[in-house]
Chains A and B, each alone.
Chain A
Amino acid sequence: MILETAGLVRHFGGIKALDGVDIGVRCGELVGVIGPNGSGKTTLFNVITGIYRPDGGSVRMEGASIGGLPPHRITRLGIARTFQNIRLFRELSVADNVRIAHHQHVRYGPADAVCRTGSFHREERRMREEVEGFLSLFSLQDRRGELAKNLSYGDQRKLEIARALACCPKVLLLDEPAAGMNPSEVAKLMEFILQIRERFRLTVLLIEHQMRLVMGICERLVVLDFGRVIAEGVPSAIRKHPRVVEAYLGRNVPSGNRIHG
């Protein structure tokens, strides 16, 4: 298990957004997290990445406990994420968005920056090449100078993934990467997620509502409802799982109790 949670609890006032969540992700796996609206999927991501502190339970990354660490520490341990409501650095260029994610790998000090030493120029050049690599992977290289806010919606989603990859993560968390995409874009995205997983040897955990995407590429699904894991397994089994069907569609009411009219 590269990433593991045990008995994870998070309250918001009286609401238990996470109520004892146990999930485990094996190295190299592609796991989908699904569930109805408000079931705690994004809260789970926010607790794993340190944006919220857990009220109970533990999060482990490669065996080390990371629950309650600040977000930047968790990212440095190899967990990067995208956000459901896109959170790009809107007033910065496309290239700068990716460059910022690469900050933790820059090897020059503030004094080098002020004095513009050789190592400053060397590192900036190296970083520029790396960034270019990430951008061309996403076919964004022609828009490198554009402000992030001026990109189309689909490109903004792509840039968010590019930025997360530039953190050089081991585990990538994608929060609704296909939101607002049309079917052909979703198909391309599926292809793409599989490609980057291969290329960067990633473990991917993704939240998604589009069943086409989830069923199409995930090796395993975790279903949340009211902050609890109600089912876990391969997509084909999840599709028929009675508790999942119930969570999404409601219970089949015995015909005698139906309200007529």
Chain B
Amino acid sequence: MELLTEIVGPYWIQIFQHACIVAVSALGLNVIFGYTGLFSLGHAAFYGVGAYTAALLMKEFAGENGDAGFLVSQSVFLGSLLAGGGAAALMAWLVGLPVLRLTSDYLGVATLGFGVIMKVLFDNADAFLPQLGGARGMTGIPRMTSLPWVVLALTAAVLVVRNVVHSTYGRVLVAIREDEVAAGAMGIDTYRYKAIGFTLGCSFAGVAGGLYAHLYCFLHPSSFDFFKSFDLLMIVVLGGLGSMTGTLVASFGWIFLLEGLRVFLPPEYLEFRWVLIPVLLVVTMLLRPQGLFGVRELPFLRSRV
């Protein structure tokens, strides 16, 4: 591990970790939008719910520096990650009850509204829980996220998505995307499965949020606003709706481009990243409207049943 850090430098390791975390969250959004066809513009809010939940639990139960024993603190960390995922899932289910009655653009507007509400909530969170920091940001989160943790999380996320997608449950989600009326006529409880797809995807965002909180050790509400939801949406569309390979490649490409340009561009031109990336996006959409990978997959992600 030290050798690796020596060779590529801690900065790039950290970016790699960030890319893995984004990939986990984007895989969740791909389940929601790519496979189930639910247009969600509030994914970052669920990411935030997971981040704040996990960070709060970690601060409460493992101390600011994670100074309990190694095994204890790692177990508490795992527990708080799962709790973060669970909190996001619970929130998704509650929000989904009313909003999943809506379709297409209307669902987008409703989830966007939810995202804005959550941002305001994070901004004012210190009013009811001072530890959350509110608009000043949350500090004192122990640095627990490490290379093994993110690789483990990403591997687990990929396997879960692959196994669900290539099962009868995954096919049901895709059927709902393709034609909800026909899916209902095939005996599928479309509302229930939309809620399941939405909840599953949001739980990924929650776990990813927990990892993110313990990577940078600082949370600020602006990390979970509408624009962050939009970034994830772009990653999923860019990679190809309903392609896990595409989501993975686009996540890594996105983060490395964004952070890599920080190294290569002179500081005064740094904001040109926000010119370059949209241009890339426009060009990709013109040349490959179905996304980089369409619905194609790497061999180990294909259906073999």
Check if A and B associate. yes
Interface residue ranges, A against B (CB under 8 Å): 49-51, 70-72, 75-76, 80-81, 83, 87-92, 96, 99-104, 106, 108, 110, 113-116, 120-121, 123-124, 127-128, 163, 167
CB distance B181 to A87 under 8 Å? Answer: yes
- The minimal Cβ–Cβ distance linking A166 to chain B, given in whole angstroms, is 8
The 6 closest A-B pairs by CB, nearest first: A113-B167, A71-B184, A75-B187, A89-B178, A87-B182, A104-B187
**Given A51-B181, A80-B185, residue A100 in contact with residue B175 (CB < 8 A):** yes
Shortest Cβ distance from B196 into A: residue: A110
B3 is an interface residue with CB less than 8 A from chain A: no
- A5 to B163 alpha-carbon distance, docked (Å): 44
- A110 to B191 alpha-carbon distance, docked (Å): 17
**Given A100-B175, A103-B168, residue A88 in contact with residue B182 (CB < 8 A):** yes
**Given A110-B164, A113-B163, A116-B163, residue A89 in contact with residue B185 (CB < 8 A):** no
CB distance A92 to B184 under 8 Å? Answer: no
19 intermolecular pairs with C-beta atoms under 8 Å apart: A70-B191, A72-B187, A72-B189, A75-B187, A80-B185, A83-B182, A87-B181, A89-B175, A90-B178, A91-B174, A92-B174, A99-B168, A100-B172, A100-B175, A103-B172, A103-B186, A103-B187, A110-B164, A114-B164
CB distance A101 to B171 under 8 Å? Answer: no
Interface residues of B in 229-281 (CB under 8 A from A): none
Chain B interface secondary structure, helix, strand, loop or mixed? helix
B159, B168, B189 interface centre (most CB from chain A within 10 Å): B168
Chain B residues with CB below 8 A from A88, complex form: 179, 182
**Given A83-B182, A113-B167, A127-B168, residue A167 in contact with residue B187 (CB < 8 A):** yes
- A123 to B171 alpha-carbon distance, docked (Å): 15
Interface membership of chain B positions 158-173, coded 1 if the CB is closer than 8 angstroms to chain A and 0 otherwise: 0110011001111110
Known: A70-B184, A80-B185, A116-B163. 17 other contacts (CB 8 A): A50-B184, A71-B184, A72-B188, A72-B190, A87-B182, A87-B185, A89-B174, A89-B182, A101-B186, A101-B187, A110-B196, A113-B163, A113-B168, A113-B169, A114-B163, A163-B186, A167-B186
B8 is an interface residue with CB less than 8 A from chain A: no
Interface membership of chain B positions 129-169, coded 1 if the CB is closer than 8 angstroms to chain A and 0 otherwise: 00000000000000000000000000000011001100111
- The minimal Cβ–Cβ distance linking A45 to chain B, given in whole angstroms, is 10
Chain A residues with CB below 8 A from B1, complex form: none
- A121 to B169 alpha-carbon distance, docked (Å): 14
B305 is an interface residue with CB less than 8 A from chain A: yes
B183 is an interface residue with CB less than 8 A from chain A: yes
Shortest Cβ distance from B156 into A: residue: A114
Chain A residues with CB below 8 A from B187, complex form: 72, 75-76, 101, 103-104, 167
- A91 to B76 alpha-carbon distance, docked (Å): 44
Chain A residues with CB below 8 A from B163, complex form: 113-116
CB distance A71 to B185 under 8 Å? Answer: yes
- The minimal Cβ–Cβ distance linking A207 to chain B, given in whole angstroms, is 15
- A75 to B186 alpha-carbon distance, docked (Å): 6
CB distance A87 to B179 under 8 Å? Answer: yes
- The minimal Cβ–Cβ distance linking A83 to chain B, given in whole angstroms, is 7
- A205 to B180 alpha-carbon distance, docked (Å): 23
- The minimal Cβ–Cβ distance linking B193 to chain A, given in whole angstroms, is 10
**Given A87-B179, A88-B182, residue A121 in contact with residue B305 (CB < 8 A):** yes
Chain B residues with CB below 8 A from A81, complex form: 185
CB distance B184 to A103 under 8 Å? Answer: no
Chain B residues with CB below 8 A from A87, complex form: 179, 181-182, 185
Chain B residues with CB below 8 A from A120, complex form: 167, 305
- The minimal Cβ–Cβ distance linking A54 to chain B, given in whole angstroms, is 17
- The minimal Cβ–Cβ distance linking A86 to chain B, given in whole angstroms, is 9
Chain B residues with CB below 8 A from A71, complex form: 181, 184-185
Q: Select A91's contact among B169, B170, B178, beta carbons within 8 Å.
A: B178
- A175 to B205 alpha-carbon distance, docked (Å): 43
Chain B residues with CB below 8 A from A80, complex form: 185-186
